[in-house]
Amino acid sequence: MIIDQLFKQFNKTKVLVLGDVMIDAYFYGSVSRISPEAPVPIVNLKRKEQRLGGAANVALNLKSLGAEPIICSIKGNDADGAALKALCKQNGLVVDALINDYNRQTTVKTRVIGNNHQLLRIDEEETKDIDASIEDLVYEAVKSLISEIDVLIFQDYNKGLLTSGLIHRVISLCQQHNVPMVVDPKFTNFFEYQGVTLFKPNKKELLQAENISEVLSVAEVKAVAEEVRIKLKAAKVMTTLSEDGVIILSDEGVIHLPAHSRKIVDVSGAGDSVLSVAALCVAAGVSDELTAALSNLAGGIVCEQIGVVPIDKDLLLGEAMELNVASGY
């Protein structure tokens, strides 16, 4: 299969995205003076913007790649929750499994941008675990969709949706239905994702989970990643290494692909793009090398744009064909 055929196959892929959704808000303005009240810049506000973030941005990436994403998550019964749902609908995302939690607020991350530089971020959120009743509703939503999907993504931001109980129940359900699972973990439930198909921490998350604070070589990081893979009984572990590229480990061995030279503007959302491409590659059953190569390209492309933005499918396809990454298929 050549690369353009693989990208056409993305169009037939149905993906359930189970994870924390949020609004990424932006205040854009200019800075020309310091406040007389405190030593902080005064931002002359020019415009405001709201975008989908967290698991919703993963869904946007999947949709941009031509797939059919379904969001399964929770939101508050508040104005921000209504805005989140409206943003999903505006972007053509299915919201049937977006559940109201009347006991929490909708997560919003607001970034203040002055003269094209981020000056401040304000987080409005609750991170306590969801109640058992909400967990049951989320699980039943997943159960109702499990026979329709080609792959399931756990997108964990430690905002309380993905409790250890829900994780275990959904993994068991996926295993019963032979649905591959791809995980973007955070620290709290890092080792709860037992037996998944592809586990994708970044380097910082990987080392934090193993309580490693010293600087490691790429070879040493590979060894840590293999230890984690064994602990998780995961089929594959893929770890992004920033300027050192990406590694992917499985029973077939270890692959390390270097990063491509880029003008890095903003790394926000790069992990979501990497995860989305990796999940579609897992669903398609492509080689580890091609999974790593396409995911690596996707992360680099979005880093060249300011803010959290989904991957451009045509741009990704163009670079992939130019670099002949299909040789790893």
What is the predicted pLDDT for the residue at 3? 86
Sign of CA dihedral 173, 178, 183, 189: positive
Q: Which CATH superfamily is domain 3-21+54-105+127-328 in?
A: Ribokinase (3.40.1190.20)
Instruction: Enter the pTM of the model.
Output: 0.91
What is the predicted pLDDT for the residue at 306? 57
111: helix, strand or coil: strand
CB contact at 8 A, 27 and 51: no
Annotated catalytic residue 312: no
What is the predicted pLDDT for the residue at 12? 86
Our measurement of the distance from residue 296's CA atom to the centroid of its chain's CA atoms, rounded to an integer in Å, reads 14
Of the candidates 131, 272, 288, 314, the residue annotated as catalytic is 272
Q: Where are the domains of the chain?
A: 3-21+54-105+127-328
Per-residue pLDDT of the chain (329 residues; tens, 9 = 90+): 578 888 889 998 999 999 999 999 999 999 999 999 999 999 999 999 999 999 999 999 999 999 999 999 999 999 999 999 999 999 999 999 999 999 999 999 999 999 988 999 999 999 999 999 999 999 999 999 999 999 999 999 999 999 999 999 999 999 999 999 999 999 999 999 999 999 999 999 999 999 998 889 999 999 999 999 999 999 999 998 887 889 999 999 999 998 765 555 555 667 888 999 999 999 999 999 999 989 888 877 765 565 666 777 878 777 777 777 765 44
